A = this chain, B = another copy of it.
Amino acid sequence: MSKNIKMKSLIEDIRKFAKQRDWEKFHTPKNLAMALSVEVAEIVEIFQWLTQEEGIRLSGDKLQDLTNEIGDVMIYLTALSDKFGIDPIEAAKKKMIINDKKYPVELVKGKSKKYSEY
């Protein structure tokens, strides 16, 4: 899969980071999946006690925290993807096509049920 320049650069940063620290042995797919879930929880932690309104208006230190945590999630998602030659952006674009069919506009408009409930 052809990856864009920024993604290629991120993948190289991640590989170099792990290699320099001799951390490749820890970065198995199973362990990276765990680390990914830990980082996502740090995003959830930012929003857990906030109202919907407060979550929308995030700013200052909280917004910086969120940016950093999004960075961490993207790092582990890319690291895991890289183990299998998957491009996360490509995978997302292809999944959007599947989702488009799974949730037909005329059936789901304005409703939030799970697809299995339709």
Contacts and interface: CB of A to CB of B under 8 A. Distances in A.
Interface of A: 4-7, 9-10, 13-14, 17, 20-23, 26, 28-31, 33-38, 40-52, 55-56, 58, 63, 66-68, 70-75, 77-78, 80-81, 83-84, 86, 88-96, 98-100, 103, 105, 108-110, 112, 114
A32 to B, nearest CB: 9
The SS class assigned to the A binding surface is: helix
Contact of A108 (B21, B81, B99, B100): B21
Given A6-B90, A10-B92, A37-B43, 14 more contacts: A4-B4, A9-B93, A10-B89, A10-B93, A13-B96, A17-B100, A22-B110, A29-B56, A37-B40, A45-B114, A68-B98, A74-B89, A75-B92, A77-B77
